[in-house]
Structure 1
Amino acid sequence: MSDNAKLTRSKLPISGRIVMFFIRHVQQAMASMGELWRNPVSSVMTMAVLGVSLSLPAALQVLVKNAETITSSWNSAAEISLFIDENRSDQTIQSLLTRIRTYSEVDKVQYIDRNQALEEFQRLSGFGEALAYLDKNPLPAVITVTPTPRYSTPVGARELLSKLEREPEISFGRLDIEWLERLQAVVRLLERTVMAIAALLVLAVVLVIGNTIRLAIMNRRTEIEVMKLVGATESFIQRPFLYTGIWYGVIGGILAWIIINLLVWYLDSALAELLGLYGSQLEMKSLTFMELLQLVGLASFLGWLGSYLSVRQHLRAIEPS
């Protein structure tokens, strides 16, 4: 910045300086956007690379989010079956049902007597004719207990099962939840995979933007030398390149959001068909508006960081001859 410009700025009041500060930033931000469109091929290729790079961890995050939704909707699978001693009277069983319903961990209780259990087994097993030859019903009465959401996790359901099995009328209980534990283990593995891939791709985004800004600095070397010769400050020279990195990040983040929405639209029908086979009806969720803002904000920061590191390194090496 020249001495006359510094003198003019010093005469301005504080409010005027603030206004000029913002005006200068807006001008340089718009100028950097124009610089992108003056090199459309390289700009579009860089933005496409950034969009794909950012869409991969974001798409995996969407996958994890939908997997968590599915597992939470299947928490009712943590249903506990309690088999009652054969010699218990109906009055004793009713007293047991009343006690179980008072448990704070229990959401719903259903009683299936021995005749109902036999009818259901005949319907589902296909051995109806063979069971007709039995002298007596071999099946016990069963109480099915649905835990509250807090106790629908594998750990909570096992705690509740252990508590229920201490009731004297209960012969034993059963909790078929191993498959849900495996599914939750897969979800946890996906979460860690997302974090690892995201870290690698964040580094890739910073490197791509840094290299792009380095090439832009080299192409404008003569212009930078002239600016330094007339007294331009380092911040004034750096600012357009920093805004260029930010623009790359913003547009790359928006492209990533578009890619993710296209993937969700493409996979939604296949996922609905798969879940329908398991008696579940869930719609695949994409990024929310808040998550979109977070994605674009992160991409903007990465664009600024990559350009800042590149500018700090390469501008120092350029001096007017």
Structure 2
Amino acid sequence: MSKSFERYQKRKLISSYFSVVLSISLVLFLLGVLGLLVLNTKKMADHFKEQITISVFLKDNAKQVEVDQLQKSLAMAEYTKSATYVSKEEAAEKHSEDIGENFQDFLGYNPLKNSIDVQLNADFVTPDQLEEIAKEINSKGYVDEVSYDKPLIGLLNDNVKKISLWILVASGVFTFIAVLLINSSIRLSIYSKRFIIKTMQMVGATKVFIRRPFIWTNLKLGVLGSVIAMMCLGGVLYYINDNFPELGLTEDPIILLILFASVFVLGIFISLISTYFATQRFLNLRTDELYY
């Protein structure tokens, strides 16, 4: 009978520890993913901004020397990521592939113009700066037109600001929820041992002596939960980097090291603080209050 009861108590204890580790690892993993998103918000926004292209259309009478000089000056400009010359023949061929037929057959001529496609650095993709860049390029006498998607630029910048704000708000809310969830799991675990705590206190054990094994146990559970969370976070990071290498999430190892260290320290810190206050609460209760 006693062995059966011991096995039951052991299973109950393991189940309690498992729930604590699971809650810590799950919450820290989600918090780590959110942290990864926060740290890379600008990088991801810059990636989308750098897909914006300015097309500089050239007049038919533009000299090749002038075109080469313009391409070189654009390529060397601080706002330029790349500058690629596209002849009217190349543009016609690409357009024919896109529409599935050769439009020159029924037009009888090629209406397209030679152009230079300029991809910008992300810091310069704002409506005001693009307007200034377009005016500067348009001032060249052999430039026919400078074209870019103005509504898309405005929409992109507005959405980046909104998304960044909501990510910060969500981070704060989720951090608060994470602390509450981990704290609740640890408190429930200690609640099941409230009579043991009070018994030890009644036979003369000091509060420090009673708290020590609970803190040590939950500290180990916090470390285990943190390690599991970091392993899952590493798997997600590997998957994203493998499928979307253009985002460059692993280009800055210092940021990743700070993120993983923060997850680890947060797991230990929350476990330590939650265990301290949970045991303190039951130590301060009167014996008759333990039943409520």
**Aligned residue in 1 for 2:214:** 241
User: Does the residue aligned with 1:120 lie in a helix, a strand or coil?
Assistant: helix
How far has the Cα of 1:105 moved from its partner? 2.0
Equivalent in 174, 182, 187 of residue 210 of structure 1: 187
**Aligned residue in 1 for 2:280:** 312
- 1:105 touches 1:147 (CA, 8 Å); kept in 2? yes
Does the alignment pair 1:47 with 2:21?
A: yes
User: Does the residue aligned with 2:192 lie in a helix, a strand or coil?
Assistant: helix
Equivalent in 300, 304, 307 of residue 268 of structure 2: 300
Structure 1 gaps of 5+ residues are: 1-35
User: Does the residue aligned with 2:111 lie in a helix, a strand or coil?
Assistant: coil
**Aligned residue in 1 for 2:70:** 96
Structure 2 gaps of 5+ residues are: 1-9, 288-292
**Aligned residue in 2 for 1:127:** 101
Whole-Å separation in 1 of the counterparts to 2:214 and 2:171: 31
- 2:79 aligned partner, one-letter code: E
Residues 156-167 of structure 1 mapped to structure 2, 5 A cutoff: 160-167=133-140
Whole-Å separation in 2 of the counterparts to 1:284 and 1:94: 36
- 1:71 touches 1:183 (CA, 8 Å); kept in 2? no
C-alpha change, 1:257 and 1:102, in structure 2 (3 Å) is closer
Whole-Å separation in 2 of the counterparts to 1:316 and 1:241: 16
Whole-Å separation in 1 of the counterparts to 2:269 and 2:177: 16
Residues 190-209 of structure 1 mapped to structure 2, 5 A cutoff: 190=167, 192-209=169-186
Which structure would you say has the larger Rg?
1
Alignment RMSD (CA, Å): 3.9
C-alpha change, 1:91 and 1:256, in structure 2 (3 Å) is closer
**Percent of aligned pairs with the same amino acid:** 18
Whole-Å separation in 1 of the counterparts to 2:99 and 2:259: 48
- 1:205 touches 1:302 (CA, 8 Å); kept in 2? yes
- 2:200 touches 2:210 (CA, 8 Å); kept in 1? no
How far has the Cα of 1:83 moved from its partner? 1.6
How far has the Cα of 1:223 moved from its partner? 1.1
How far has the Cα of 1:297 moved from its partner? 0.9
User: Does the residue aligned with 2:32 lie in a helix, a strand or coil?
Assistant: helix
Length, aligned pairs only? 271
C-alpha change, 1:291 and 1:90, in structure 2 (3 Å) is closer
Q: TM-score, normalised by structure 2?
A: 0.72
Does the alignment pair 1:257 with 2:234?
A: no
How far has the Cα of 1:52 moved from its partner? 1.9
**Aligned residue in 1 for 2:81:** 107
- 2:174 aligned partner, one-letter code: I
How far has the Cα of 1:67 moved from its partner? 7.1
How far has the Cα of 1:203 moved from its partner? 1.9
Whole-Å separation in 1 of the counterparts to 2:140 and 2:203: 89
- 1:131 aligned partner, one-letter code: Q
